[in-house]
Structure 1
Amino acid sequence: MIKKILVLCAALMISSSISAFAHGEISQAIPAADSTVIAAPTEVSIEFDGKLQTLGNAIINSITVTDDKGQVISDQSSVVNGARLSVRLLLTDVTGLVGVHYRIVSEDGHPVEGDYSFTVGQAPTLTSAGKEETAEKANGVSEESGSNLLINAFAAFLVIGIVIAILSRRKK
């Protein structure tokens, strides 16, 4: 009976730890990641899966947009509105690959950073490396999801180790 209770507790801990690591995920980006737009937008906005934290006038949430030469083309002050973060673009005559870097503090207090890109104008031709990257994105594989998987696996092993330690102590 005790073993069943411990196994049930371990399963509950693992399932709750997996959902606890899901924070600060993008629910919508405009322009979207890997999209191609005809003309440069006047604003880039990202909506996350939870409200963003703010600390008065402190800049803890930001978006930086760069052109294909690495020059910053966005305003320095990003605007937070609930779960949405946006920034105005200073240059709208940009063409080519545009990079978006964001840093947020999610409602649970965890800082999250990430990058994505979109293209302004004609879509670039794919090289063999680009085809592999596109295939990875189509399969949903990314560095961010890989790190969450690693954290979840570590949490699961930790819980299993604790359960084994408790069971071995009870036998003695």
Structure 2
Amino acid sequence: MNVFPRLAARLAARGIAVPATALAVLAVSAPQAAAHTDLDTSSPGARATLAGLPPNATLTFSDSMTQKYAKVAVTGPDGKSAAAGDPQVDGKTVTLPLETGSPAGRYTVGYRVVSADGHPVSGSYTFTVKAAGSPSPSPRAEQSADAPPSPAARAAKADAAAEEPSGTNTSALVGGGALVLTLAAVGAYVMRRRRAGHGG
């Protein structure tokens, strides 16, 4: 009497196992069906700051690209194209030659490509080329009229200020001495006149 329950249990287990296997297959295949092409790396990179514009802009994707549908543009700060040719596809990499003499500023990279299996991908990002450093001005040019005087200039000014009071004091002493001598001479002259008057 135990044969029938065992047989029913086996059939039920088989019925559950088949749908479970089908679900596992779907779970594995679903990410592959939903997969799409992405930009993996780029040079120049997004938000990078460079000393000059490189000879090429290189974009590498997660899938191989088709040459026919590869569109890449690099626009300079003046709104003009910085491209020196057409984009070239090599497997997963798309390369665009650039004009290295383009001006400094912010550049925008825009792309729209189609992978070999038909997946389109598009996007954009920016990078910056900084201006070349200007020559350093001479020390004389750096010091403006409002700049504080140098230590040597301050010392010379202090010496000049110290000399002015001493010169004034010397002039006062000389003048005072001359006045005393004049008064002494006048006094001696008056005394002689008086003596001469008394003697006569």
- The answer to whether the superposition gives a TM-score over 0.5 is yes
User: In 2 relative to 1, CA 110–5 (structure 1 residues): closer, same or farther, beyond 3 Å?
Assistant: same
Larger Rg: 2
After alignment, is 61-70 or 77-86 more displaced?
A: 61-70
CA RMSD of aligned residues (A): 2.3
Q: How does 1:52-63 map to 2 (within 5 A)?
A: 52-54=65-67, 59-63=68-72
State percent identity of aligned pairs.
Answer: 27
Number of aligned positions between the proteins: 118
Measured against aligned partners, the alpha-carbon deviations of 1:111-150 in whole angstroms (never above 9, x if no partner) come to 211111111117xxxxxxxxxxxxxxxxxxxxxxxxxxxx
**Looking at both structures, which has the greater relative contact order when contacts are Cα pairs under 8 Å and sequence separation is at least 6?**
1
Per residue, is there more helix in 1 or in 2? 2
Q: Does 1:101 pair with 2:114?
A: no
1:102–1:114 CA contact under 8 A, matched in 2: yes
State the shift of 1:39 in Å.
1.0
- 8 Å contact from structure 2 (residues 84, 97) kept in 1: yes
Which residue of the partner structure matches residue 64 of structure 1?
A: 73
Counterpart contact for 2:52–2:100, Cα < 8 Å: no
In the other structure, the counterpart of 2:59 is: 46
TM-score in terms of structure 2 length: 0.51
Q: Please name the residue that 1:149 is paired with.
A: none
TM-score, length of structure 1 as denominator length: 0.58
1:37 aligns with 2:50: yes
Gapped runs of 5+ residues in structure 2?
A: 1-13, 132-200
Query: Are 1:74 and 2:87 counterparts?
Result: no
Residue in 2 aligned with 1:168? Answer: none
1:114 aligns with 2:123: yes
Gap runs ≥5 in structure 1: 123-172
